[in-house]
Amino acid sequence: MHRHLKCLCAALLLLSSINANAHYPLMSCIIESNSVTCEAGFSDGSLAVNKKVTVLDYDDNVLLSLKTSQASQVVFERPQGEFYIRFDAGHEAPVEIDYDEL
Whether residue 18 is predicted with pLDDT greater than 60 in this model: the reply is no
**What is the residue-averaged pLDDT of the chain?**
84
Mean pLDDT of 70-92: 94
Whether residue 12 is predicted with pLDDT greater than 50 in this model: the reply is no
What's the domain count of the chain? 1
Domain range for 87 is 23-101
Q: Please, which pLDDT band fits residue 91 given cuts at 50, 70 and 90? A: confident
Query: Does residue 13 sit within a domain?
Result: no
Query: Does residue 9 sit within a domain?
Result: no
Query: Does residue 16 sit within a domain?
Result: no
What would the 3-class secondary structure string for the chain be? Answer: CHHHHHHHHHHHHHHHHHHHCCCCEEEEEEEECCEEEEEEEECCCCECCCCEEEEECCCCCEEEEEECCCCCEEEEECCCCCCEEEECCCCCCCEEEEHHHC
Query: Does residue 54 sit within a domain?
Result: yes
Residue 26: per-residue pLDDT: 96
Query: Does residue 44 sit within a domain?
Result: yes
| CATH number reported for the structural domain that contains residue 40 in this entry | 2.60.40.1930
